[in-house]
């Protein structure tokens, strides 16, 4: 089945530690996105990538980094500079093409601080 | 800049009653509008989308939404609520014609169904 796989489902971060969230898609989509979800705030865009080896900052990129070495993979690193990392993180993808393309979402990773 | 406002962070209805979730948007160009649903600890699933074809859009699970340009609204409705409709609902807007599309989401409305 085609889809987006996020791992792990739950992740705990210690003080001063960097952690990496995985996002893999087998939909052959060109664009991929990372969102952060906090209660009552909807989803906010962290980073997005339109093609391999290229990515752009979203609205809340500070304290996060990404890479796009392969079309199917878009990992997100939460660095120690992100002082409030506790949130639900969602990865999405969409094909290029005409406007109004649907974003398909993974099941999410819930990150907590120890 | 685009924005989305969902009126009511929490809506509660009885089983079998009408569901109405409100969404107003702001966009300087003709928008693409979406409604997504999220069940607990899961990702988002598309309910329906508006892309300038018909103003009344039908989606999955009996939901529909009407685009009203004069009111800058895209409210979501379902004639008869079912217990399985309990979830969080997000309205989103995009104005990009192609390529990577950045979605701007509302803050979400949690729908509770009373038996």
Q: What is the pLDDT of residue B100?
A: 67
* Pairing verdict, β B56-58 and B44-50: unpaired
Question: Do B98 and B32 form a contact (C-beta atoms < 8 A)?
Answer: no
CA distance A33 to chain B (A): 9
| Phi and psi angles of residue A2, each rounded to the nearest 5 degrees, phi first | -80, 145
CB contact under 8 A, A90 and B49: no
Residue B109 parent element (H or E) = strand B109-114
Token reading at B39? 């069940």
Average pLDDT, stretch A73-97?
92
- Cα nearest neighbour of A96 on chain B: B99
Q: What is the pLDDT of residue A98?
A: 62
The pLDDT tens digits of the residues spanning B84-95 come to: 999 999 999 987
pLDDT higher than threshold 90 for residue B96: no
Q: Given CA atoms B95, B101, B103, B104 in this order, what sign does their dihedral have?
A: negative
Q: Which of A42, A50, A90 sits opposite B43 (nearest CB)?
A: A90
Question: Do B38 and B45 form a contact (C-beta atoms < 8 A)?
Answer: yes
* A38 near B CB under 8 A: no
* A114 near B CB under 8 A: no
Question: Do B100 and A31 form a contact (C-beta atoms < 8 A)?
Answer: yes
Q: What is the pLDDT of residue A100?
A: 63
Helix and strand tally (H, E) in chain B?
0, 11
pLDDT higher than threshold 80 for residue B45: yes
Neighbouring C-beta atoms of residue B10, cutoff 10 Å: 11
Q: Which of A33, A42, A99 sits opposite B96 (nearest CB)?
A: A99
CA distance A41 to chain B (A): 5
CB contact under 8 A, A107 and B42: yes
Q: Which of B4, B44, B51 sits opposite A100 (nearest CB)?
A: B51
Q: Which residues in chain B are contacts of A98 at CB distance < 8 A?
A: 97-98
Token reading at B73? 């609204």
Q: What is the pLDDT of residue B54?
A: 84
Tell whether omega for the bond before A75 is within 30 degrees of 0, i.e. cis: no
pLDDT higher than threshold 60 for residue B98: no
Strand partners, B75: B66
B96 or B55, which is more confident?
B55
pLDDT higher than threshold 60 for residue A22: yes
In this structure, what DSSP letter does residue A107 have? Answer: -
Q: Which residues in chain B are contacts of A30 at CB distance < 8 A?
A: 100
- Alpha-carbon distance of A89 to A85, in angstroms, equals 10
B53 or A102, which is more confident?
A102
A18-27, A30-39, B61-70, B95-104: the lowest-pLDDT one = B95-104
Token reading at A113? 């601080």
């Amino acid at each position: 089945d085609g889809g987006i796989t996020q791992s792990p489902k739950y992740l705990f971060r210690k003080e001063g530690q960097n952690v990496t969230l995985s996002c893999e898609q087998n939909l052959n989509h060109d664009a991929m996105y990372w969102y952060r979800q906090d209660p009552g705030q909807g989803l906010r865009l962290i980073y997005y990538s339109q093609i391999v080896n290229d990515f752009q900052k979203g609205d809340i990129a500070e304290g996060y980094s990404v890479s796009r070495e392969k079309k199917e993979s878009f990992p997100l690193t939460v660095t120690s500079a992100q002082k409030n990392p506790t949130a639900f993180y969602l990865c999405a993808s969409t094909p290029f093409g005409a406007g109004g393309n649907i974003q398909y979402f993974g099941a999410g990773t819930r990150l907590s601080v120890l | 800049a685009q924005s989305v406002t969902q009126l009511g962070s929490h809506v509660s209805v009885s089983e079998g009653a009408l569901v109405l979730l409100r969404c107003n948007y702001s966009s300087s160009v003709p928008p693409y509008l979406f409604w997504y649903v999220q069940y607990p600890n899961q990702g988002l699933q598309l309910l329906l989308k508006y892309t300038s074809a018909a103003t009344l859009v039908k989606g999955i699970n009996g939901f529909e939404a009407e685009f009203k340009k004069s009111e800058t609204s895209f409210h979501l409705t379902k004639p008869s609520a079912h217990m399985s409709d309990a979830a969080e609902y997000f309205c989103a807007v995009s104005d990009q014609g192609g390529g990577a599309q950045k979605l701007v989401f509302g803050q979400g409305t949690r729908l509770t169904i009373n038996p």
